[in-house]
Amino acid sequence: MRVSRPLFVAAICAGLGCAFRPANMTGGAGSGGTGAPGGSGGTAPPVTGLTDLAISPPTASLTISNGGPAQTQQYTVTGTVNGVPNTDLTKQVTYTTVPNGIVTIDGNGLATTTGTKGGIVTVTAVNSAHLATAKLTVNYSFSGPDPGMPTVPSDAATRFTSTTNDTARSPQLIYPNDGVLFPPNISNVEIHFTPGANNTLFEVSLTGTYSTVTTYIKCVAPAGITGCIYLPDPGLWASVASSNAGQAAVHLMVRGTDDTGTSVGASQTFSMQFTQDTVQGALYYWTTSNKTAIMRYDFGGSTATPAPYLTPAAAGASINCVGCHALSPDGSKLVASANGQGDGRLLLWDVTNNKALQPFPLTQRSQFESWNRDGTQFVGVFGDNSSAGNSAKVGPSNLMIFDGTTGKVTQTIDLGGLRADHPDWSKAGDETIAFTSVDATASTTDQRPSTGGIDFIQLTAGAWGQPKVMIPPLLGQNNYYPAISPDGITVAYDQSTCTAGTPTLGTKPDISCDADTDATATIYLAPLAENTTPAVLTNANKPGVADGATTALANSFPKWAPFIEQLDEFTKVVWLTFSSTRQYGLRSPPVPTDMSETKKGTLIWMVGIKLGVGGADPSFTSFCLPFQDVTTSNHIAQWAKNFVIGPPG
């Protein structure tokens, strides 16, 4: 499947006439790749009379270390030719290595390590229809001061020879969260810890199956932070991630001492894991940086910095805020609701050409939208009263289907008196739309619905059927923001609890359960079916060390990345992003200066979800996306398969 994606993407964009840079398709360790066949880039001529092939040694291991020379392993290939066994064919076969980037192999069968990456390499020798394989294990080790910390003494390791744990000196790990899953192409991941008593020098170890990295550092405490935040050297982090992609857990521990090594204290041990595949796609999110903007980040790109993509100034006149938005799956089009609740004028944007696809605004207003699989249509809702601010709803209660090019409403789906909000159109090939079923009598806006349940409708024989109840509404709670998984099987959604027991309606709804950054917002996962049984994503929702006993973390607006990836050889994984007010390790959540309510600011978090694990919690713990501006609120992360490059705008 991963090989075919670039062809699929190219076909889409060729049809649309768009320019794009596809997400990184190379994959992580174990994802595939070849060495130079026969060492020359060609294919070895067939050996006449060949009946079998063998490669030796069948298993081998190499160890590479920082500053050390490349290591080599010589392979010998033999075969039976015209009945003669053990004929030397070492120079008459085509060699390949999987994955790329760990070793190269020449036409003489000499494998050579290429850098600072460990892992298991499959070496294959081929001639005609015959092949033989060998397993080469490469271990990587590093020990020394972090290259980014020149003030650390070169002999720092000599201060950590004690094996006795002085608990008074023990640092405490704060972040990353224990049990977290990372894609191997995430960079700039910080390690947060409190230093322990009287410590001035620290040893940070990251120990995995195929790598051992031990760095020595000083405490770095950014302004306003009590504790230490360590950003590992990018090369070291990449070595850890790539060496252990698709493998067992990497164990993190910090030890502390003083400059003379008087005694040593050790932290607790946290585990982290890396997927076999790299994460792909483009992420668009709304930020309050410099007033407001839609930012975007290319997971397959070479830069670690997101860029402002759509600002009010770029969008055009009469737009003060570009907020809630949705991307067509191929990334070529965007629709956004302008100027917040009570307004709902729509901007339909051509990402390919970096301009409005239709004059702003479209005829019909809408507040939340979602595209269909091929990007030809999107569904929207509008229940706000644009003339009376936020006091009442007068708009259509039904779902509206918009043409994805003209922006015109082509169909209104009668929901039989239900009021819809937060629609999400499945991208799995089936025609299913999940939505929040809102209390139709409540005087609330689309941004702040009350007493929600989760319903869905399906297209059968060209007609949309009647709504089916997935999660029924219940007084005292709110269910909202449904998001259908990439395989179309499950739905992630939010549930929050009303502190007053029931929502208080009228001019001042109970903001504790109004679906707008509710403190108790918790992500649930449920099969896409009638009257389904939901399960809370315990690991994804749970607090980090710095959150303490606080479990009300406003885990809100879940959205799926568009691809199904490999966690390891046997397990598939999908990625989910959401906004949260939780502590980013030692960093407090941003101050929401843009909000009229007294709620906290949010950052965007990401979590891996295993597929097909039965009744067990399929989620890992979450991590904060490291590339975002952590001084401002960021929300509403939306995904597209491709990072489309249009003309400068």
**What percent of the chain has a predicted confidence (pLDDT) above 90?**
70
* Domain identity same for 150 and 134: no
pLDDT at residue number 440 = 74
84/81 Cα distance (integer angstroms): 5
Kind and range of the H or E run holding 16: helix 5-16
Scan for tokens 């050297």, then name that residue: 233
- What global pTM score does this model have? 0.89
Residue type, 448: R
Residue 19 lies in a domain: no
* Domain identity same for 294 and 270: no
Higher pLDDT among residues 10 and 448, named by residue:
448
Whether the CB-CB separation of 193 and 205 falls below 8 Å is answered with no
**Over residues 168-186, mean pLDDT:** 97
Burial class (CB in 10 A: 0-12, 13-18, 19+), 56: middle
Residue 13 lies in a domain: no
Residue 12 lies in a domain: no
* Domain identity same for 264 and 301: no
* Domain identity same for 154 and 134: no
Residue 546 lies in a domain: yes
pLDDT at residue number 324 = 83
> Where among 223, 252, 274 does a domain terminate?
274
* Domain identity same for 445 and 591: yes
Residue 270 lies in a domain: yes
On the question of a cis peptide bond just before residue 472, with omega within 30 degrees of 0, the verdict is no
**What percent of the chain has a predicted confidence (pLDDT) above 70?**
87
Residue 169: helix, strand or coil by DSSP?
A: helix
**The total number of structural domains that make up the chain:** 3
- Picking from 120-134, 239-253, 493-507, which range would have the lowest pLDDT averaged per residue? 493-507
Query: DSSP secondary structure string, 203-240?
Result: EEEEE-SSEEEEEEE-----TT-SSEEE---HHHHHHH
Between strands 180-182 and 270-274, the pairing is: parallel
* Domain identity same for 260 and 328: no
**Over residues 386-390, mean pLDDT:** 45
pLDDT at 29 over 90: no
CATH number at residue 599: 2.120.10.30
* Domain identity same for 124 and 180: no
Burial class (CB in 10 A: 0-12, 13-18, 19+), 557: buried
pLDDT at residue number 508 = 57
* Domain identity same for 308 and 424: yes
pLDDT at 592 over 90: no
110/106 Cα distance (integer angstroms): 6
pLDDT at residue number 291 = 63
Scan for tokens 């067992």, then name that residue: 248
CATH number at residue 108: 2.60.40.1080
How many other C-beta atoms can be found within 10 angstroms of the C-beta atom of residue 519? 20
Contacts of 66 (CB under 8 A, 6+ apart): 116, 141, 142, 143, 144
The set of long-range contacts for 9-18, using a CB threshold of 8 Å and a minimum separation of 24, is 9/330, 9/641, 9/642, 12/330, 12/332, 12/642, 13/330, 13/332, 13/642, 13/644, 16/330, 16/332, 16/352, 17/352, 18/330, 18/332, 18/351, 18/352, 18/644, 18/646
- Picking from 23-32, 162-171, 513-522, 543-552, which range would have the lowest pLDDT averaged per residue? 23-32
pLDDT at residue number 317 = 61
* Domain identity same for 241 and 323: no
- Picking from 13-17, 116-120, 443-447, 544-548, which range would have the lowest pLDDT averaged per residue? 13-17
Whether the CB-CB separation of 252 and 268 falls below 8 Å is answered with no
- Picking from 29-38, 118-127, 398-407, which range would have the lowest pLDDT averaged per residue? 29-38
36/38 Cα distance (integer angstroms): 6
Whole-number mean pLDDT of the chain? 87
pLDDT at residue number 583 = 96
1/635 Cα distance (integer angstroms): 31
**Over residues 621-630, mean pLDDT:** 96
pLDDT at residue number 489 = 94
* Domain identity same for 195 and 49: no
- The radius of gyration of the chain from alpha carbons, rounded to an integer in Å, stands at 27
> Where among 249, 274, 299 does a domain terminate?
274
pLDDT at residue number 14 = 32
* Domain identity same for 112 and 155: no
> Where among 257, 274, 291 does a domain terminate?
274
φ, ψ for residue 595, nearest 5 deg:
-100, 140
508/514 Cα distance (integer angstroms): 10
Residue type, 454: I
pLDDT in tens, 43-83: 899 999 999 999 999 999 999 998 789 999 999 999 999 99
Picking from 488, 608, 615, 616, the residue whose alpha carbon sits closest to that of residue 177 is 608
454/433 Cα distance (integer angstroms): 11
Q: Which domain holds residue 254?
A: 146-274
Q: Which 8-state DSSP code applies to residue 156?
A: G
pLDDT at 595 over 50: no
Scan for tokens 């959604």, then name that residue: 493
**Over residues 347-366, mean pLDDT:** 93
pLDDT at 429 over 70: yes
pLDDT at residue number 11 = 32
pLDDT band with cut points at 50, 70 and 90 for residue 236: very high
- Picking from 8-22, 165-179, 499-513, 529-543, which range would have the lowest pLDDT averaged per residue? 8-22
Query: DSSP secondary structure string, 357-377?
Result: SSPSSPSS--SEEEE-TTSSE
pLDDT at residue number 35 = 38
Whether the CB-CB separation of 524 and 533 falls below 8 Å is answered with no
Residue 14 lies in a domain: no
180/295 Cα distance (integer angstroms): 25
pLDDT band with cut points at 50, 70 and 90 for residue 342: confident
Kind and range of the H or E run holding 215: strand 211-217
pLDDT band with cut points at 50, 70 and 90 for residue 503: low
Burial class (CB in 10 A: 0-12, 13-18, 19+), 568: middle
Residue 293 lies in a domain: yes
- Picking from 130-134, 359-363, 508-512, which range would have the lowest pLDDT averaged per residue? 508-512
Higher pLDDT among residues 141 and 616, named by residue:
141
Higher pLDDT among residues 442 and 502, named by residue:
442
Residue 404 lies in a domain: yes
- Picking from 31-35, 168-172, 430-434, 604-608, which range would have the lowest pLDDT averaged per residue? 31-35
Whether the CB-CB separation of 384 and 343 falls below 8 Å is answered with yes
Kind and range of the H or E run holding 312: helix 312-315
* Domain identity same for 350 and 490: yes
Query: DSSP secondary structure string, 91-111?
Result: TSSEEEEESTTSEEE-TTSEE
- Six token digits for residue 341: 């609740």
pLDDT band with cut points at 50, 70 and 90 for residue 443: low
pLDDT at residue number 387 = 46
**Over residues 207-229, mean pLDDT:** 96
Picking from 133, 89, 95, 130, the residue whose alpha carbon sits closest to that of residue 111 is 95
In order of 33, 53, 158, the CA distances from 2 in angstroms are: 12, 30, 47
Please, where are the H alpha helices in 458-584? 538-541
123/526 Cα distance (integer angstroms): 43
How many other C-beta atoms can be found within 10 angstroms of the C-beta atom of residue 380? 26
CATH number at residue 231: 2.60.40.10
On the question of a cis peptide bond just before residue 57, with omega within 30 degrees of 0, the verdict is yes
